[in-house]
Structure 1
């Protein structure tokens, strides 16, 4: 039979005491760690480090930094953890000029607000100056100050379907095509409430409907390059596409006036 080693109780007692002592030390260390952590949290919450020192703003051009801060509702002096970052983001998105907004905590106790503004696509001509038109179809209430960008100037446009369709065209048309648009007049007709007249930088006029403006203006470069640059006129792309020289219209008007004069006794 295999002999088993017999360990006396006297030999086991020191080992049991050592194990219990280690467990007690670990528990004490854990309790002390929790205690000191709580103290540090209390001290931190009572210190200036737990309060928002400054709100930083990034990505603005249409808005001032103070306008962004006011819109967000964020303030210096409140708790960093109670600053309401999600609520601030929601408030920022209520402004027509802001497309995206992110609010995060910065080290050690700052708040960083990053915004992506709506692009300016044109200017609406109104009394008092030129008013920026944004990619979401909104017209700002304050006129542009300083030198305006090289963007189309819109006449007789208001916020609504027509302006929304033009904004969509601005986003989808190639930059090389859109940048050749100088002025656009909203010119509704009885059979087309979305009719416009666009004047191009190369001297041609485009007669179009906003319902198909984006898809048909893509072909403008290929159409205009086939025309005599010295003979200006109207490129009609409402249904198909054809060209009417200004001279022919003037001659026709002159002939009509001559005929009327001859008929007058």
Structure 2
């Protein structure tokens, strides 16, 4: 069988062509990378790589401008260099803001969605009322004249006592919480945490802060067993029992008589 012999002269043009094609591919790859780097440099130097729009959603008490200021974001901030954790941490310094979510959207938009602490009660100051938030912070920047969606706290002067009360209020169902009109701090010699509640249904509740949520959970079942025409005080300190206003008045009259007889 005869072997086909290819002369060196025939092989050289093919080798040269292959080398040329390989060199061209290398050159194209090099030029592509080079121009890509130039485009990236131009992009990062241009306004296209900076934040062009900041939108805030979910806020009602905290001003949009204040949230943007806390975020430290502006139209000079690099879109790709935003540190979400740092932005979140900075915005959460505001005591009214409970949660924040940062979302980046191409080409260079930033969306800040905040969740504010809800009002859990109100404190009275003069003829005005101010919101007590879920974290115990009193929002004095916004004055309210006729609060109706949460109880009014009266005579709560110490911050630690107020915060403990708020923690207990958060534990009870919203339906029970909304049925409370006023909560007066009425400390006694034996219980500095004692309080008196005035309910929207006309009853009074005598309770102590540190067992309030657990005891108040049975309030609806207690009321359901009472005569709605007879109002009085529901005691929830140690045990749970009802005392009508008439009975309390009779006790008061008996004490007055005993005092008068003793003075004779």
TM over 0.5: yes
Pairwise CA distance, 1:152: 0.9
| Residues 187 and 261 of structure 1: CA distance in aligned 2, closer, same or farther (over 3 Å) | closer
Contact 2:128–2:144 (CA<8 Å) still a contact in 1? no
Counterpart Cα distance in 2 of 1:224 and 1:89 = 46
- State the partner residue of 1:195: 194
* Matching residue of 2:125: 126
1:94 aligns with 2:75: no
- Please tell me whether residue 181 in structure 1 is matched to residue 160 in structure 2: no
Task: Give, in whole Å, the separation in 1 of the partners of 2:254 and 2:2.
Answer: 131
Pairwise CA distance, 1:59: 0.8
SS class of match (1:188): coil
Cα distance, 1:141 vs structure 2: 2.5
Cα distance change of structure 1 residues 260 and 191 upon mapping to structure 2, 3 Å threshold: closer
* CA–CA separation in structure 2 for the residues paired with 1:33 and 1:90: 41
- Do 1:208 and 1:238's aligned partners in 2 also have CA atoms closer than 8 Å? yes
Residue 23 (structure 2) pairs with residue 29 (structure 1):
no
> What is the root-mean-square deviation of aligned Cα atoms in Å?
2.6
Tell me the SS of whatever aligns to 1:211.
helix
Q: Does 1:114 align with 2:118?
A: no
Contact 1:182 1:200 in 2 (8 A): yes
**C-alpha distance after superposition, 1:132-175 (max 9, x if no partner):** 11111111232434764511111122463332332223332222
1:41-190 equivalence runs, <5 A: 41-127=40-126, 129-145=128-144, 148-158=147-157, 160-190=159-189
CA distance in 1, matches of 2:110, 2:214: 44
Does 2:244 correspond to 1:245?
A: yes
Q: Deviations over 1:181-238 (max 9, x none)?
A: 1111122223222221111111111111111111111111001111111111111111
Inter-CA distance 157–23: structure 2 relative to 1 (3 Å threshold): farther
Unaligned runs of 5+ residues in structure 2 are: none
Unaligned runs of 5+ in 1: none
| Whole-angstrom CA distance in 2 between matches of 1:219 and 1:18 | 93
Structure 1 pair 243–96 and aligned structure 2 pair: CA distance change class (3 A): same
CA distance in 1, matches of 2:173, 2:3: 90
Equivalent residues of 1:128, 1:143 under 8 A apart: no
Equivalent residues of 1:129, 1:143 under 8 A apart: no
- CA pair 128-105 structure 1, distance change in 2 beyond 3 A: farther
Q: CA deviation at 1:5?
A: 6.7
Alignment TM-score, normalising by the size of structure 1:
0.86
